[in-house]
Amino acid sequence: MSLYSKILFNFANTLKAGLCNPKPTVMRKFIISCLILALQTTLLSQISINTPLFTYSQNFNSLANSGSSSILPVGWFFREIGIDKDSFYVAGSGTSNTGNTYSFGSSGSSERALGGLRSDELVTTFGVKFINNTGGVIPSVTITYTGEQWRIGSTGRMDRLIFQYSLDADSLHTGTWTNFTNLDFIAPTTVGPVGRLNGNLPENRRTMSFTIPDLDIPDGGMLFLRWLDFDATDEDDGLSVDDFIISNTPLPIVITSLNVSKIRSITEVRFSTVSEVNSDYFSVERSGDGRIFTEIGRLKAAGESRKNKYYTYIDQNPIIGTNYYRVRQVDTDGNYRITEAAKVQFDAEKKFSLYPTQTTDNINIFTDLTGYDIIIFDTGGKERLRAVNLSGDQKFSLNALQAGTYILHFRDEYSIKVIKIVKI
């Protein structure tokens, strides 16, 4: 018997007993009204999945953008524990380090996200509850959401939201819960000044997406999802969930884990997909200001896939300054989707010069580099002199060398320069 059937069965029995009871009419009407209210509250306390192929989304923009409130979207819940617990969340932009449940967003903005900040006085958990009313079994679901970081509480350590699901929980603190680490949100910003961050900026948010397999939720069964705030070292970060999607409908494409890395003088752009339908190619785009993007290369897409696929593109010629990268996925029918941008910084190449290259005693090195090494080899490849971890301008003595031709290697973290010198 489904949950709905049980509710209706119990309601009918209670109603029958009340009507047969020789109490005043007013009392019977009161009892009936209470039962109807209880029934409506129960039915509205979870989100009903009614069709075999479904998609549900929530952007949290109905949350309060000022003051405090207890009103959440239907089916969503939060629970606080600790001496400062209450029944309200607070609108915040990341300026406060007070432990609480938060509607995060820029001050006064209607663009909101649901999250929290853990402290010794308060710990929050939030989540969403679904009921299967499809008439059949739901074997698996795909969860996609954007994790946003609105505050950095301490530097040099990791904070995260822990994702769990339950098939038998009635609330956020009952039932058996299963960790699903592929959907944990790890705070992306761990360095910089402590304080407020803008969770809408690319560097402070990540898109998480993964399919939870082997659920086999029966008709009338429940699926409860929740996020727990990890207890990080020192003060915690302000972390939240936005743009939540649950679906068992094959998504055209889901791009996750867009990462860019500076490797010497190049940029490595890496991303992955968890599903592809009708996909043609990926256009890798770059910008110097984060607004105007230009295509710098293409990668062929898998076309059709329900497995994780991994892609890498190398930008051989990044620009000096900030490089913003994003990926445009283009379908065979011309439709496209664009990822959020990720950025990497390339500073202007620092100066290096050496004089003279022919000398009887010393060579002079002129540079603003730090942490570099000088190694001198003879023409047969044998090392003759070495000086390491030098900084700035240096006078380098060749008095230990005999007259002849030598090869000088100048090495720093990102490059090696090779120069021929002659000891006269």
Q: Is the pLDDT of residue 251 over 80?
A: no
SS3 for 26?
Answer: helix
Tell me the percentage of the chain whose pLDDT exceeds 90. 56
**More reliable by pLDDT, 109 or 40:** 109
345 in a domain, yes or no? no
Residue 210 lies in a domain: yes
- What is residue 37's predicted lDDT score, i.e. its pLDDT? 39
The answer to whether residue 79 sits within a structural domain is yes
pLDDT of 2 over the 70 cut: no
Determine the pLDDT at residue 43.
Answer: 43
Whether 346 is covered by a domain: the verdict is no
Tell me which of 27-31, 114-118, 187-191, 337-341 is least confident: 27-31
| Range 257-279 average pLDDT | 86
Q: Both 153 and 62 in a single domain?
A: yes
Residue 16: Cβ-neighbour burial (10 angstroms; 0-12, 13-18, 19+): exposed
- Tell which of 214, 247, 280 closes a domain: 247
Same domain, residue pair 109 and 211 = yes
Q: Give domain status of residue 77, yes or no.
A: yes
| Whether the Cβ atoms of residue 81 and residue 122 lie closer than 8 Å to each other | yes
> For the residues 323-347, what does the mean pLDDT come to?
85
How much is the pLDDT for 5? Answer: 41
pLDDT at 33 over 80: no
- Whether residues 71 and 189 share a domain: the answer is yes
Distance between CA atoms of 419 and 397, rounded to whole angstroms?
16
Instruction: Count the domains in the chain.
Output: 4
For residue 50, is it within any domain?
no
More reliable by pLDDT, 348 or 401: 401
User: Are residues 188 and 169 both part of a single domain?
Assistant: yes
Closest to 170 in 3D by CA, of 77, 252, 80: 77
CATH of the domain at 177: 2.60.120.200
Give residue 8's pLDDT band: very low, low, confident or very high (50, 70, 90). very low
% the chain with pLDDT above 70: 87
DSSP 217: B
Average pLDDT over residues 243-259: 77
Domain contains 67: yes
| Mean pLDDT computed over 335-342 | 80
Check if the beta carbon of residue 153 is closer than 8 Å to that of residue 117: yes
Residue 183 and residue 265 in one domain: no
* Res 370: pLDDT: 85
pLDDT tens digits, 365-398: 988 888 889 999 998 889 999 999 998 899 989 9
Residues 74 and 202 in one domain: yes
**Do residue 242 and residue 101 come from a single domain?**
yes
CATH code of the domain containing 275: 2.60.40.10
**Highest-pLDDT range among 17-21, 131-135, 180-184, 191-195:** 131-135
Q: Tokens 């070495």, residue?
A: 386
Angle at 321 between CA 317 and CA 325, to 5 degrees: 60
pLDDT at 4 over 60: no
328 and 410 together in one domain = no
pLDDT recorded at residue 40? 40
Quick one: average pLDDT of 202-214? Answer: 85
| 178 and 62 assigned to the same domain | yes
Average pLDDT score, the chain: 86
d(CA 358, CA 404): 10
Region 156-177: what's the mean pLDDT? Answer: 95
Q: Are residues 84 and 228 in the same domain?
A: yes
Residue 144 within a domain: yes
pLDDT of residue 416: 78
Residues 91 and 30 in one domain: no
Quick one: 371 and 405 in the same domain? Answer: yes
Residue ranges making up the domain that contains 212:
55-247
Average pLDDT over residues 82-93: 96
